[in-house]
Amino acid sequence: MPIQYYLFLSLALFCIGIMGALMRRNAIIIFMSIELMLNAVNLLLAAFSKMYNDSAAQIFVFFIMVVAAAEVAVGLAIIVMVYRKVHSVDVNILNRLKH
Amino acid sequence: MVQLAYLIPLFPLIGFLINGLGWRTVPKQAAGFLASLMMLISFGLSLGVFFEVKNATAAIAPIHLFDFIHAGKLVIPFAFKIDALSSLFLLIITGVGFLIHVYSTSYMHDDEGVVKYFAYLNLFVFSMLLLVMGANYLIMFIGWEGVGLCSYLLIGFWFKNRDYTNAAKKAFVMNRIGDLGFLIGMMLVLLNFGTLSYDSLFAETGGMVMSNGLATAIAICFFVGAMGKSAQLPLYTWLPDAMAGPTPVSALIHAATMVTAGIYMIARSSAIYNASEVALQFIAVIGLVTAILAASIAIKQYDIKKVLAYSTVSQLGFMFLAIGCGAYTTAVFHVMTHAFFKALLFLGSGSVIHAMGGEQDIRSMGGLGKKMPITKWTFLIGCIAIAGLPPFAGFFSKDEILAAAFAHNTVLYVLALGAALMTAFYMFRLYFLTFTGSFRGTHDQEHHLHESPIAMTFPLMVLAILAAVAGFFGMPEVFGEHHLLNEFLSPVVHNHGVHHMEHSTEYMLMGISVSLVAVMIFFAYSRTRKPDFAPNTGLAKVLEHKWYVDELYDAVIVRPLVQFSGFLDRIAERKGIDGAVNGVGRLVRWGADRMRLLQNGQVGAYLFTMVVGIVLLFVLGLFCFNF
Q: Where are the alpha helices (DSSP H) in B134-237?
A: 137-155, 162-193, 198-205, 212-229
Cβ distance of A99 and B611 shorter than 8 Å: no
- According to the model, what pLDDT value does residue A98 have? 57
Which of B471, B382, B478 has the alpha carbon at shortest distance from B435? B382
Q: How far is A11 from chain B (nearest CA, A)?
A: 14
The full set of domain ranges for chain A reads 3-98
Q: Given CB atoms, is B599 within the 8 Å cutoff of chain A? A: yes
| CA nearest to B314, candidates B284, B287, B334, B285 | B287
Tell me: pLDDT of B74 over 70.
Answer: yes
pLDDT tens readout for residues B278-332 = 888 899 999 999 999 999 988 888 888 899 999 999 999 999 999 988 888 888 8
What value does the mean pLDDT of chain B take? Answer: 86
Q: A94 and B600: CB-CB below 8 Å?
A: no
Answer whether A78 touches B (CB < 8 Å): no
| Closest-approach residue (CA) in chain B for A17 | B611
Indicate the DSSP class of residue B428. Answer: H
Q: Which of A14, A78, A82, A92 to mutate to test the interface with B (most CBs of B within 10 A)?
A: A92
3-state secondary structure A30-75: HHHHHHHHHHHHHHHHHHHHHHHCCCHHHHHHHHHHHHHHHHHHHH
Is the predicted pLDDT of residue A8 greater than 90, yes or no? yes
Put simply, the answer to whether A22 touches B602 (Cβ < 8 Å) is: no
pLDDT beyond 70 at B616: yes
Mean pLDDT check: name the lowest of A35-44, B197-206, B542-551.
B197-206
B47: left (phi over 0), alpha (psi -120 to 50) or beta: alpha
B531 vs B97, more confident = B97
Residue B599 to residue A21, Cβ atoms within 8 A? no
d(CA A41, CA A61): 9
Q: What distance lies between CA B438 and its chain's CA centroid?
A: 36
pLDDT of residue A96: 67
Asked if B339 and B96 count as a contact pair (C-beta separation under 8 A), the reply is: yes
Residue B344 in contact with residue B456, Cβ under 8 Å? no
Q: How many whole angstroms separate alpha carbon B24 and alpha carbon B37?
A: 20
Query: Which tens digit of pLDDT belongs to each residue from B363-402?
Result: 888 778 888 888 889 999 999 988 888 778 888 888 888 8
Taking the C-alpha atoms of residue B532 and residue B569, their distance in angstroms, rounded to an integer, is: 50
Q: What is the DSSP string of B235-302?
A: STTHHHHGGGS-HHHHHIIIIISGGGHHHHHHHHTHHHHHT-HHHHHHHHHHHHHHHHHHHHHHHT--
Fold classified for A3-98 = Helix Hairpins (1.10.287)
* Backbone dihedral angles phi then psi of residue B531, each to the nearest 5 degrees: -60, 135
**pLDDT category of residue B441 using cuts at 50, 70 and 90:** confident
The interface predicted TM-score (ipTM) is 0.77
What Å distances lie between residue B335 and B206, B250, B320, B341, B568, CA to CA? 26, 16, 10, 10, 45
- The amino acid present at A55, given as its one-letter code, is S
The answer to whether residues B12 and B126 touch, using CB atoms and an 8 Å cutoff, is yes
Residue B160 to residues B164, B166, B249, B332, Cα–Cα distance (Å): 8, 11, 18, 38
pLDDT at B204 over 70: no
**What HEC string does B494-551 produce?**
CCCCCCCCCHHHHHHHHHHHHHHHHHHHHHHHHHCCCCCCCCCCHHHHHHHCHHHHHH
B75 pairs with which residues across the strands?
B70
* B43: Cβ contacts below 8 Å, ≥ 6 apart: B91, B94, B95, B97, B98
Query: Exposed, middle or buried: residue B515 (CB in 10 Å: 0-12, 13-18, 19+)?
Result: exposed
Q: Which sign does the torsion angle of CA B266, B267, B269, B270 carry?
A: positive
Alpha helices in B356-452 (DSSP H): 373-387, 393-408, 410-435, 443-448
pLDDT digits (tens, 9 = 90+) for B471-510: 787 777 666 566 777 777 777 777 776 666 777 888 888 8
Cβ(B492)–Cβ(B409) under 8 Å? no
Kind and range of the H or E element at A16? helix A3-23
Question: pLDDT class for B433, splitting at 50, 70, 90?
Answer: confident
What CA–CA distance (Å, rounded) separates B236 from B230?
Answer: 8
- CB contact set of B542 (below 8 Å; sequence gap of 6+): B548
- Test mutation, B596, B597, B602, chain A, max A CBs within 10 A: B602
Instruction: Output phi, psi for B194, to 5 deg.
Output: 70, 10
- Closest by CA to B247, choosing from B130, B147, B433, B117, is B117
CA B39/CA B354 separation, integer angstroms:
24
Are B388 and B424 within 8 A, CB to CB?
A: yes
Q: Which of the two residues, B200 and B163, has the higher pLDDT score? A: B163
Please, are residues B397 and B471 in contact by the beta-carbon 8 Å criterion? Answer: yes
For residue B542, with 0-12 CB atoms within 10 Å meaning exposed, 13-18 middle and 19 or more buried, which class applies? middle
| Residue B76 · residue B136 · CB < 8 Å | yes
Q: How far apart are CA A38 and CA B618, in angstroms?
A: 19
**Bridge partners of residue B74, in order along the sequence:** B71
For chain B, the structural domain boundaries read 1-135, 136-207+218-529+540-544, 552-626
Q: Which residues contact B588 (CB under 8 A, 6 or more apart)?
A: none
Cβ(A3)–Cβ(A33) under 8 Å? Answer: no
Phi, psi (deg, nearest 5) at residue B522: -65, -40
Distance from the Cα of A2 to chain B's closest Cα (Å) equals 24
Structure confidence at residue B207 (pLDDT): 47
Q: For residues B178 and B175, give the distance between their C-alpha atoms in angstroms, rounded to a whole number.
A: 5
Confidence bin at B255 (pLDDT 50/70/90): confident
Q: How many CA atoms lie less than 13 Å away from B392 in the CB half-sphere?
A: 22
Tell me: the pLDDT tens digits for B114-133? 889 999 999 999 999 999 99
Cβ distance B513 to B399 under 8 Å?
Answer: yes
pLDDT of B208 > 50? The answer is: no
What b/e string do you get for B568-589 counting C-beta neighbours within 10 Å, with b at 16 or more?
eeeeeeeeeeeeeeeeeeeeee
d(CA B372, CA B366): 12
Q: What is the pLDDT of residue A66?
A: 94
Distance from CA of A99 to the nearest CA of B (A): 8
Question: Half-sphere exposure of B4 toward its Cβ, with a 13 Å CA cutoff?
Answer: 12
CA distance B595 to chain A (A): 13
B53 CB contacts (<8 Å, ≥6 apart)? B2, B60, B82, B83, B84, B87
Task: Show residues of chain B in contact with A22, CB under 8 Å.
Answer: 604, 607-608, 611
Count of beta carbons in the 10 Å neighbourhood of residue B243: 26
Contact between B259 and B239 (Cβ < 8 Å): yes
Smallest Cβ–Cβ distance between B608 and the set A22, A92, A98 belongs to A22
CB pair distance less than 8 Å for A97 and B601: yes
Average pLDDT over residues B594-613: 83
Least-confidence region, from A46-50, A59-63, A81-85, B60-64:
B60-64
* Strand B74-80 relative to strand B63-71, pairing: antiparallel
Q: What is the DSSP letter of B26?
A: S
3-state secondary structure B535-600: CCCHHHHHHHCHHHHHHHHHHHHHHHHHHHHHHHHHHHHHHHHHHHHHHHHHHHHHHHHHHHHHCC
- Give just the sign of the alpha carbon dihedral B23, B26, B30, B35: negative
- Nearest CB among A18, A94, A95 relative to B611 is that of A18
